[in-house]
Structure 1
Amino acid sequence: MFNKILFATTGSPECDSAARVAFDMARQYGSKLTLFHVLGIPGKGDSNLVIDTRTGEEVDADAEYLEGVAEELRTTYANQLEALPGVEIEVAVGVPSREVLRIARAKDVDMIVLCGPSEGQQSGFYKRGVVGDNLRKVAKAARCPVLTVSRPSASFWGGFSNIVFATDFSKASESAFQFAKTVVKAVDGELHMFHCVDLSRFQSPIALTQDGIEAKLAESRRRLHHEYATQLGDFKRYTSEVWEGTPYVEIVKFARERQADLIVMAHHARDVDPDERPFGSTLEQVIVRASCPVVSVNRPDKLPQAAEA
């Protein structure tokens, strides 16, 4: 289903959970896996000096240094590489988000796997930017789905059984649904469709009465059935729920209640051109807080095909 997977890693322990999922996905689907690391940001002019992204020090990124970094990656992932021969290792110099997007396009990958915020970043109050500019920029511009793993995953990709599809009924959510539908059928799992009625968006006092809230909930239930359930055909292993509240809070709670192995969401709520669509704060919040991997989908370009499942 996923012929080519790109795993972008810093090589640090924070990426271990993402590495597990990336390697297990490649093994499950017989995918071609590329292990990719951006080692530094180039300096000015024709100099080979770069600022190492891990140490912050200035280094000479000659061929010997690049090979040394690649060898370090081979050592870090030695066990996984032994179990999965044929993994490509690529090292580049440049702005990390740009290089990830560049190699993803060049290799025409079907999935990008990224590591999310570290455990230390997850503590305390959330503030915008904790997810990181690189993750935000990759998720915004990628032509293929982007899988973010922030915490140890209870199961690997091939073992996923409970998939939560969270929708805001935007155009982008249709692409996310097609992804979720194809994957859940491929793994013979259960699909849990979910929408949260965001009460903070209602300005009218009438809309915030209990009758008004109930009317919105009923309308959303009808939309879930009409726009998504009718596309499932003979597939019956699904549920649909509509809650009210703050979307990211309710999505995380719902996923935890359903013991979800994967959350699938659209890139952003608004119906605007994908190139102009900012990284949604709801998606950011879910990535930071979810106890399972999160897939963001913002385009229909590289969705898996049901025929390949």
Structure 2
Amino acid sequence: MFKRILVAIDGSKTSLKALDKAIELQKLTDAEIYLICVYKHHSLFEASLSIGRPPGMDIPDKVLSEWAKEVVDHAKEEAKSHGASKIRAFVKGGRPSSVIVKFAQDKEVDLIVVGTSGTHSDKDGMLLGSVSHRVASRAKCPVLVV
């Protein structure tokens, strides 16, 4: 049925519920779980606006990348503690919905599992979070919104 399940993780409660569903599916199908946390990549221009930043303060991409790594590592440990196996974790920079869809295509994912809304929301996804809405409408594989 499913060989590869992609779970978008952002540290929110709904993304962790999505992870729980993916673990249930893995136990039924023996699929590999890919965890991905996508941080917003800052352009060179945005990073250059930090002229007034205090010494020793990291550029935004580095800080966000480290945060995303912590989020995905925590999710991986959480999954293992709930009996999941065959888990791989990834951190990517960019627009979350676009990165998730492209990653799923590149890795030939059979199912994407996302939470209804994440840590951030905007008017584009009034009832369904904007990222989950965009992923569900653009993905080439089935999307389970939890």
TM-score, normalised on structure 1? 0.39
Q: For residue 269 of structure 1, report the CA deviation from its aligned partner.
A: 1.5
- Contact 2:10-2:71 at 8 Å conserved across structures: no
- Contact 2:9-2:71 at 8 Å conserved across structures: no
Larger gyration radius, structure 1 or structure 2: 1
Alignment of 1:1-309 (within 5 A): 159-199=1-41, 205-206=49-50, 211-226=59-74, 228-231=75-78, 232-233=80-81, 235-270=84-119, 278-297=127-146
Opposite residue 65 of structure 2, the aligned amino acid is L
Structure (1 or 2) with the greater helix fraction: 2
The 1:266–1:235 alpha-carbon spacing in structure 2 relative to 1, beyond 3 Å, is closer
Q: How many residues align?
A: 131
CA RMSD of aligned residues (A): 2.6
Opposite residue 224 of structure 1, the aligned amino acid is V
- Show structure 2 runs of 5+ residues with no match: none
Opposite residue 25 of structure 2, the aligned amino acid is V
| Structure ranking higher on relative contact order (CA contacts 8 Å, 6+ apart) | 2
Opposite residue 136 of structure 2, the aligned amino acid is I
Instruction: Provide the secondary structure at the position in 2 that maps to 1:279.
Output: coil
The 1:188–1:195 alpha-carbon spacing in structure 2 relative to 1, beyond 3 Å, is same
Paired-residue identity, %: 26
Q: For residue 199 of structure 1, report the CA deviation from its aligned partner.
A: 3.3
Query: How far apart, CA to CA, are the structure 1 residues paired with 2:94 and 2:58?
Result: 13
The 1:214–1:264 alpha-carbon spacing in structure 2 relative to 1, beyond 3 Å, is same
Q: For residue 251 of structure 1, report the CA deviation from its aligned partner.
A: 0.3
- Show structure 1 runs of 5+ residues with no match: 1-158, 298-309
Detail structure 1 runs of 4+ shifted over 2 Å in the superposition: 203-207, 209-212, 233-236
Q: For residue 230 of structure 1, report the CA deviation from its aligned partner.
A: 1.3
Q: For residue 263 of structure 1, report the CA deviation from its aligned partner.
A: 0.3
